[in-house]
Amino acid sequence: MISHINNYCVRRLAFALKISDKDITSIFALVNYRLQLNEVKGYLKKEDDALFVPIPDYLFILFLDGLIGKYRGIRKEDRELSQAQRVKQAKSQTLSNNLILNKLKITFTLTSDALIELLALADFRISKGEMSAFFRKPTHRNYRQCGNQLIRNLLTGITQDLQSDKPIIQLKIN
Residue 130 Cα distances to 95, 142, 161, 166, angstroms: 20, 9, 22, 26
**169 belongs to a structural domain:** no
Q: What is the pLDDT of residue 174?
A: 76
What's the farthest any 2 CA atoms get from each other in the chain?
45
The kind and range of the H/E element at 71 are: helix 57-72
Q: What is the pLDDT of residue 15?
A: 97
In this prediction, what percent of the chain has a pLDDT beyond 90?
Answer: 89
Q: Strand pairing partners for 56?
A: 2
Q: What is the pLDDT of residue 53?
A: 95
Window from 2-6, 45-49, 90-94, 122-126 with minimum mean pLDDT? 2-6
Q: What is the pLDDT of residue 90?
A: 94
For residue 117, the enclosing domain spans 97-162
**69 belongs to a structural domain:** yes
Same domain for 40 and 86:
yes
Chain mean pLDDT for the chain: 94
Residues 6+ apart with CB under 8 A from 54: 2, 3, 4, 6, 7
**77 belongs to a structural domain:** yes
In this prediction, what percent of the chain has a pLDDT beyond 70?
Answer: 98
167: nearest Cα among 55, 60, 17: 17
d(CA 9, CA 24): 13
Strands (E), 73-122: none
Using 50, 70 and 90 to split pLDDT, how confident is the model at 2?
low
Q: What is the pLDDT of residue 3?
A: 63
**36 belongs to a structural domain:** yes
